[in-house]
Amino acid sequence: MARLSSFLFVLSLLCVLPIYLCQQSYGGKLNPGYYAHSCPQAGEIVRSVVAQAVARETRMAASLMRLHFHDCFVQGCDGSLLLDSSGRIVSEKSSNPNSKSARGFEVVDQIKAQLEKQCPGTVSGADILTLAARDSSVLTGGPSWMVPLGRRDSRSASLSGSNNNIPAPNNTFQTILSKFNRQGLDVTDLVALSGSHTIGFSRCTSFRQRLYNQSGNGRPDMTLEQSFAANLRQRCPRSGGDQNLSVLDIVSAAKFDNSYFKNLIENMGLLNSDQVLFSSNDKSRDLVKKYAEDQEEFFEQFAESMIKMGNISPLTGSSGEIRKDCRKINS
């Protein structure tokens, strides 16, 4: 009974939290009311399944949000990440950024199965990812926003695009910014969207370099706060333990808030790609300070940047398809 009450309370948050209405246009043919007539239950179905998944495992919120990021940075927000390898399709799931780390596909499958029962052939996997990312934010205490909808699913995937377009944990600031710029995103989007690392975990293999060999000279990253580094070494040895997990936000790993930015100011960002936002560029440093001081400002910008990212090269109209199964193209 207690679990049911907790689930219903969390689900109710989706109805009472403020919704950020951004001034920018949604762009293209995307529209928050796209399924109002063809599948009015779509939003509720996605919310319900995501809420149940996050109730079972809080980490799932970060995992679902990450799927949306990794989908949009490759061929646009087209559900290409969801495809398994088959025939001419080489799955993006086997790329360096996704192999052994991308997760949450079973939750997407569950959402899709329920949607197909209610509205067959109507809601795309790409839109499922976008809605699930928003709901994951809300369920962990973060902002809500109106999600433009109407994306269709691709009939292809790009392993090379996944390997080349998604920022890596050890990339320099300029490399990361260049990858964002190629998607039409700027430094403000970069800093705000990186704030999603206020929830979730990262594997030892993603930050080991900072602990033992940051610059290829056998020495650690000296910008890493020393007591924090010592604790990380206990979880992440010099060799072995590649899949050992550490929280991305040492203060509140299960709560979507602005403590991530406060950690960066204290040199306690877990990934190199996090810490360089504070250490390597004046504009990004100023944004980190602003969001650390004003959580509302961060929430507003995060919502705006999520909508902007969700608008990257969507397939609309007669382009692409609505897959019956998110994992494979229609025959």
Residues annotated as part of the active site: 70
Give pLDDT tens digits for 204-254: 999 999 999 887 888 888 889 999 999 999 999 999 999 999 999 999 989
pTM, to two decimals: 0.90
Was 74 annotated as part of a binding site?
A: yes
Was 80 annotated as part of a binding site?
A: yes
- Closest by CA to 115, choosing from 104, 131, 103, is 131
Was 109 annotated as part of a binding site?
A: no
3-state secondary structure of 325: strand
pLDDT for the residue numbered 11: 46
Q: Which CATH number fits domain 173-308: 1.10.420.10, 3.40.1080.10, 2.40.37.10, 3.90.110.10?
A: 1.10.420.10
Task: Kindly state the average pLDDT of the residues 281-292.
Answer: 97
In the chain, CATH 1.10.420.10 sits at 173-308
Was 122 annotated as part of a binding site?
A: no
- Closest by CA to 120, choosing from 205, 230, 41, is 41
Q: Which two tokens stand for residue 264?
A: 């960066």
Please say whether the dihedral angle defined by the alpha carbons of residues 45, 255, 224 and 297, taken in this order, is positive or negative.
Answer: positive
User: What single DSSP character describes residue 60?
Assistant: H
- Closest by CA to 46, choosing from 121, 141, 143, 116, is 116
For domain 41-165, give the fold.
Peroxidase; domain 1 (1.10.520)
Question: What is the DSSP secondary-structure string of 32-65?
Answer: TTTTTTT-TTHHHHHHHHHHHHHHH-TTHHHHHH
